[in-house]
Structure 1
Amino acid sequence: MPKIVDHDQYRKELLTKCFDLFAAKGYGAVTMRQIAKELGVSTGTLYHYFPSKQALFWQLYDELNERDTASMNAVLNSTDTLEERITAIFDYIAQNEDYFFKQFLITGDFYQQQDREEILANETLKHNYELNRDFVTKALETDDPAVVNFAMCLATGIMVVRLFEGNVVEYAEQAQLLNKMLTLYLQGSALSDVNVT
């Protein structure tokens, strides 16, 4: 009897292995032939699932973002207040810091190999950014785009500083500061809305 293969699961397994490979060697440093060899599959099999290295990257990017969003939403489900949500998110990032560092470096390496206009026009990137924006909107319980952008930039900035400077910035400290700032900002916005009416 022929072996039944769950093609979607197999594709995801290949993507997981590619993440580790890109983290170790860099996106730009490996060819599809080298990727196939490292994964222990034929180049034909690799091209069956991914028509190009760029397509492989975008599928990897999509897969990672789906996993991260699901994991972060699970973290949010155990919280009630804004402070708890901010603390839980920053704790999650801290616990998975190496993974996020690798993701950042792989993405940077990929971007270096691409045309900026093509990246900005990419639908996968736009879709995943909107998922991230929706997550932050839900976590902070605000639809104020300036607040959402600020929180996203802060989280990314903290990771970049820690990546290049070490532990000079603490997640817990920044979570407390963000909570204080947002609480004051959101209270001020609510008061100004009341004063207008």
Structure 2
Amino acid sequence: MPKIVDREKYRKELLWKSFDLFASKGYSTVTMREIANELGVSTGTLYHYFPNKEALFLQLVEEQFQQDIINFLAESGDIKYIPERIRALVGFVEKNEEYFISQILLWSNFYQQQGKSEVLNNEILKKVAQKSREELLKYLEIEDKVVADFVVNFLNGLICVRMFEGEMVSYQEQGELLVQMVSGYLANW
């Protein structure tokens, strides 16, 4: 009897396993052959699921985004007020700091390899960015896109600063400042 394979589940497994390789070596230096070897599959199998390295990477970005949302919502629970929701968001980033640092470094390497125009015009990356803002607005239960942009930019900046300054910058202190800034901004509108 032939082995029954859940192709979608297998594709996702390949994506998640490739993240570690990309994160450790960078997008630009890893080849499809290396990915296949590291994952223990043939290059033919890898090409069956992903036509090239860029497609694999972009599908990984989409998968990570979806899984990050699921993980965060499951972990944060039912929180009623915006300040507590922001604190939960900052806490999630802090708890998963190494993962998010790896993500930012990998995306930066992809940007460096592909170039600004390619990245800014990539429909998948645009869709993920837009969807992340929409999910944040829905989670915070607000309609002001400027606030979502600010929170995302603030958190990405905080992660980047912590890469170079570490414990000198506190998630709790910066998170409380973010709560005050967003709450103050929303109170004035």
Q: How does the TM-score come out when normalised to structure 2? A: 0.95
Task: Give, in whole Å, the separation in 2 of the partners of 1:188 and 1:75.
Answer: 31
> What is the CA-CA distance between 1:76 and the residue it aligns to?
4.3
1:83-126 Cα shifts (integer Å, max 9, x gaps): 11011111111111111111111111111110321211111111
Q: Are 1:111 and 1:119, in contact at CA under 8 Å, matched by a contact in 2?
A: yes
- Give structure 1 regions of 4+ aligned residues with deviation exceeding 6 angstroms: none
The aligned counterpart of 2:56 is 56
Structure 2, unaligned runs of 5 or more: none
Deviation readout 1:159-178 (Å, 9 max, x if unpaired): 00001221221111112111
Once the two structures are superposed, the pairs formed by residues 69-148 of structure 1 within 5 Å of their partners are 69-148=69-148
Match in the other structure for 1:165: 165
Q: In structure 2, what residue type is equivalent to 1:158?
A: L
- In 2: Cα distance, 1:65 partner to 1:181 partner: 26
Q: Distance in 1 between matches of 2:139 and 2:111?
A: 28
Shift of 1:10: 0.7
Tell me what 1:186 maps to: 186
Distance (whole Å) between structure 2 residues aligned to residue 162 and residue 69 of structure 1:
22
Query: CA–CA distance in 2 between the matches of 1:174 and 1:64?
Result: 25
- The answer to whether the 8 A contact 1:76-1:139 is kept is no
1:26 CA drift (Å): 1.2
Q: Could you say what secondary structure the match of 2:188 adopts?
A: helix
Task: State the AA in 2 paired with 1:53.
Answer: K
Aligned to 2:78, the other structure's residue is in SS state coil
Mapped to 2, the partners of 1:128 and 1:21 lie a distance apart of: 22
Structure with max Cα Rg: 1
Q: What CA distance in whole angstroms lies between the structure 2 residues aligned with 1:75 and 1:41?
A: 33
**2:135, 2:73 → 1: CA distance?**
8
Higher RCO (Cα < 8 Å, 6 or more apart): 2
5+ residue gaps in structure 1?
190-197
Which range moves more in the overlay, 46-55 or 170-179? 170-179
Distance in 1, Cα, partners of 2:130 & 2:28:
27
State the secondary structure of the residue aligned to 1:167: helix
User: CA-to-partner distance for each residue in 1:19-75, whole Å, 9 max, x for gaps?
Assistant: 011111111111111111111111100100010000000011111001011122234
Query: Among the aligned pairs, what percent are the same residue?
Result: 49
Q: Which amino acid aligns with 1:130?
A: Q
1:5 aligns with 2:5: yes
Give, in whole Å, the separation in 2 of the partners of 1:8 and 1:141.
32
Rounded Cα–Cα distance in structure 2 between residues aligned with 1:10 and 1:116? 32
Separation of aligned partners in 2, 1:164 and 1:125 = 26
Aligned partners of 2:188 and 2:17: how far apart in 1? 48
Deviation at 1:127, TM superposition (A): 1.1
The question of whether the paired residues in 2 share the 8 Å contact of 1:86 and 1:139 is answered with: no
Deviation readout 1:117-170 (Å, 9 max, x if unpaired): 121111111111111101221233322222221111111100000012212211
Kept in 2, the 8 Å contact 1:101–1:163? The answer is yes
